[in-house]
């Protein structure tokens, strides 16, 4: 018996280890001094920086606000719906209950896309965009069935004669309903509220499709994946876990005391009810406080940028968005994307005042007449842009764009792991490094590298060029450990891979987190890219957008952005303010002689672009 008891304890211990080990790791890394998953010392800095990060705190406030409102409305609707269904008889009740369960078993991706299409259609008819309202309605919609699922069993357990008995004892119908029926249903109602709150708080898929420019915490975390999730998110997750764990402990202690003191069940339920109400009030208050930070402003500017692509006040830099809001007394809705294609899809249905696409995408937007010509009288700081970054192929007359950052594709390799000399892209086909080679998980960059190795021009490929490059990628496939984008950080920084092609600015920061990492500018040349600021044709506030672009060209703002994001600045005045170790770094600022060997992507026709996607998928999955 003793052995059996020890076996049970061991089994339970394994279950708890499986459940809570990931949370323990997350908590530990919230105190890691490094941004990467390489442990480099203990610090509380991420907790301090968390509350200084306006984007995260605003997203958190938005999330809490939506979660509380969605939970409250869905609880009311779900409870009323449960009462209505309970009063139905026979087949009608079964049909409606089955219909109410469909949203629970329906895949979220289907729900999200269908809601998006619905709101896009209604938006075209009634002239509105997706945002807070559509997000809240979506959350109410998918939370309500869970309330029905929680309340309905309590209705079945309730004595049908209680309502009439209360009236016989002198209660009005309203008194009998609230003091008897609702009291009996309260455990189910509270459970439904908490389930709704939790699901709303945690939702990403449906929110992604219906939120428009309204940013929630799951979406903010998702956009961080262009680079890596900030350790500030580890700190926030730790705080949320500790709060929830503390509430559970307090609730159980309170319940145990009630039981010990011989209190009636109703009194214990009343205490839990008060605790839930207090939690809801505190959460709503916190959300409203964060959400109301931007209440006093004269205009709204909607900015759409890459993830982690602007200075936020860390490391002695400016908090660029906060400084612009303060100077112009405006509110900036700052949203992020992880690819040019995602940005392109979004601006089809949503209006933004400033976007920052890459060179080839700018050419595509110009060709499709989706950008406004800029009024350079409103952008006097354009004089700070160096001449070599003007009149580039994607905007030859400098009519639609102002360069923001630039960089090149380089090779990152581990000096202790890689075999053979690394001088160019040939190293990615070195069989001695089989199983330790990473490759781009996007068609444009991966096929371009293969084309360079074949002596083809990657800037404007033909279908025949793509076929040849695809064949070479298929030859490489057995050597490749994985096709990656943001995963490259952990794999290279944690010594899991030997070599990878990636963007110079990101390699610079990876090297900072692992002394074994080094870089190579491919001897045959590489892709030279530029991200530039543009104003879409459907911008609501183009003059303020031009003021923002002008602000971004101020030397100190340019310096702060370049320091934080790691990419080169085309702003000569900003470059002069950079530390020498950045300004003279060949990886970030390659020589003119080297850049002369590089190429820039052009706007690819739709049929060629789609063929590239198709052939890359074929090569990477063959």
**CATH class of the domain whose range is 54-229+264-293:** mainly alpha
In whole angstroms, what is the distance from residue 390 CA to residue 397 CA?
Answer: 8
Q: Do the Cβ atoms of 302 and 333 come closer than 8 Å?
A: yes
Output the pLDDT for position 294.
47
pTM of the model: 0.78
Q: What is the pLDDT of residues 217-258, one digit of tens each?
A: 898 887 776 566 678 888 988 988 888 788 778 767 766 776
Q: How many CB atoms lie within 10 A of CB 95?
A: 12
Is the pLDDT reported for residue 486 higher than 90?
no
For the chain, the domains span: 2-45, 54-229+264-293, 300-400+530-586, 407-527+606-621
Range 172-193 average pLDDT: 84
Output the pLDDT for position 270.
55
Binned at pLDDT 50, 70 and 90, residue 181 comes out as confident
Q: Do the Cβ atoms of 561 and 582 come closer than 8 Å?
A: no
Binned at pLDDT 50, 70 and 90, residue 100 comes out as confident
**H or E segment to which residue 482 belongs:** strand 480-484
Task: Please tell me if the domain spanning 300-400+530-586 has the same topology as the one spanning 407-527+606-621.
Answer: yes
Q: Environment class of residue 96 by beta-carbon count within 10 Å: exposed (0-12), middle (13-18) or buried (19+)?
A: middle
Instruction: For domain 407-527+606-621, give the fold.
Output: D-Maltodextrin-Binding Protein; domain 2 (3.40.190)
| CA distance to 213, 299, 300, 354, 529, per residue, from 296 (Å) | 19, 9, 11, 22, 39
Q: Phi, psi at residue 546, to the nearest 5°? A: -65, -35
3-state helix, strand, coil in the chain (%, to 5): 60, 10, 30
In whole angstroms, what is the distance from residue 366 CA to residue 358 CA?
Answer: 12
Output the pLDDT for position 163.
73
Secondary structure (3-state) at 335: strand
- Degrees (nearest 5) of the Cα angle 589, 593, 596? 95
Q: What is the pLDDT of residues 335-380, one digit of tens each?
A: 888 788 888 988 988 899 999 999 999 999 999 999 999 999 999 9
**CATH class of the domain whose range is 300-400+530-586:** alpha beta
Specify which residues 336 forms β-bridges with.
305
Sign (positive or negative) of CA dihedral 363, 367, 368, 371: positive
Range 27-47 average pLDDT: 85
């Amino acid at each position: 018996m003793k052995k059996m008891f020890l076996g049970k304890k061991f089994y339970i211990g394994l279950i708890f280890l499986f459940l809570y080990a990931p949370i323990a790791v997350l908590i530990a890394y919230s105190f890691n001094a490094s941004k990467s998953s390489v442990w480099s010392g203990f610090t509380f800095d991420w907790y301090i920086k968390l509350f200084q990060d306006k984007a995260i705190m605003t997203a958190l406030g938005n999330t809490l606000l939506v979660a509380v409102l969605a939970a409250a409305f869905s609880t009311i609707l779900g409870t009323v719906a449960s009462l209505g269904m309970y009063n139905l008889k026979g087949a009608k009740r079964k049909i409606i209950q089955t219909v109410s369960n469909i949203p629970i078993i329906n895949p979220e991706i289907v729900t999200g896309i269908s809601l998006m299409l619905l709101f896009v259609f209604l938006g075209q008819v009634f002239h509105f965009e997706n945002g807070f309202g559509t997000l809240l309605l979506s959350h109410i919609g998918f939370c309500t069935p869970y309330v029905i699922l929680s309340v309905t069993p309590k209705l079945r357990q309730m004595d049908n004669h209680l309502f009439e008995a209360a009236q016989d004892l002198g209660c009005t119908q309203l008194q009998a309903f609230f003091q008897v029926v609702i009291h009996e249903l309260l455990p189910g109602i509270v459970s439904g509220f908490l389930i709704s709150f939790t699901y709303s708080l945690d939702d990403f898929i449906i929110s992604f499709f219906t939120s428009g420019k309204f940013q929630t915490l799951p979406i903010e975390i998702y956009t961080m994946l262009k680079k890596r999730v900030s350790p500030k998110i580890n700190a926030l997750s730790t705080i949320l876990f500790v709060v929830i764990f503390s509430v559970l402990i307090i609730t159980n202690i309170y319940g145990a005391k009630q039981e010990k003191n011989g209190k009636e069940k109703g009194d214990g339920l009343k205490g839990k009810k008060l605790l839930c109400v207090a939690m809801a009030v505190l959460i709503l208050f916190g959300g409203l406080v964060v959400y109301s930070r931007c209440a006093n402003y004269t205009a709204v500017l909607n900015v759409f940028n890459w993830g982690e692509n602007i200075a936020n006040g860390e490391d002695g830099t400016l908090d660029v968005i906060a400084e612009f809001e303060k100077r112009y007394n405006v509110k900036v809705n700052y949203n992020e994307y992880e690819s040019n294609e995602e940005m392109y899809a979004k601006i089809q249905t949503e209006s933004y005042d400033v976007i920052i696409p890459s060179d080839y995408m700018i050419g595509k937007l110009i060709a499709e007449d989706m950008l406004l010509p800029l009024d350079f009288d409103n952008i006097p700081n354009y004089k700070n842009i160096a001449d070599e970054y003007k009149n580039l192929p994607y905007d030859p007359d400098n009519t639609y764009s102002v360069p923001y950052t630039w960089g090149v594709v380089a090779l990152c390799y581990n000096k202790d792991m890689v075999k053979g000399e690394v001088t160019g892209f040939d190293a990615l086909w070195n069989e001695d490094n089989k199983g330790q080679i990473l490759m781009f998980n996007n068609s444009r960059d991966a096929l371009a590298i293969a084309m360079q190795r074949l002596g083809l021009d990657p800037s404007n490929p033909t279908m025949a060029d793509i076929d040849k490059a695809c064949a070479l990628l298929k030859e490489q496939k057995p050597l490749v450990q994985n096709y990656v984008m943001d995963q490259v950080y952990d794999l290279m920084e944690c010594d899991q891979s030997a070599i990878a092609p990636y963007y110079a600015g990101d390699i610079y920061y990876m090297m900072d987190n692992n002394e074994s990492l080094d870089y190579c500018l491919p001897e045959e040349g590489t892709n030279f890219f530029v991200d530039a600021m543009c104003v879409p044709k459907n911008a609501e506030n183009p003059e303020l957008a031009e003021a923002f672009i002008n602000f971004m060209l101020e030397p100190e703002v340019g310096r702060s952005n370049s320091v934080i994001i790691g990419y080169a600045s085309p702003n000569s005045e900003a470059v002069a303010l950079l530390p020498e170790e950045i300004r003279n770094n060949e990886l970030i600022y390659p020589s003119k002689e080297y850049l002369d060997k590089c190429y820039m992507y052009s706007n690819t026709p739709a049929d060629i672009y789609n063929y590239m996607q198709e052939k890359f998928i074929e090569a990477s999955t063959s």
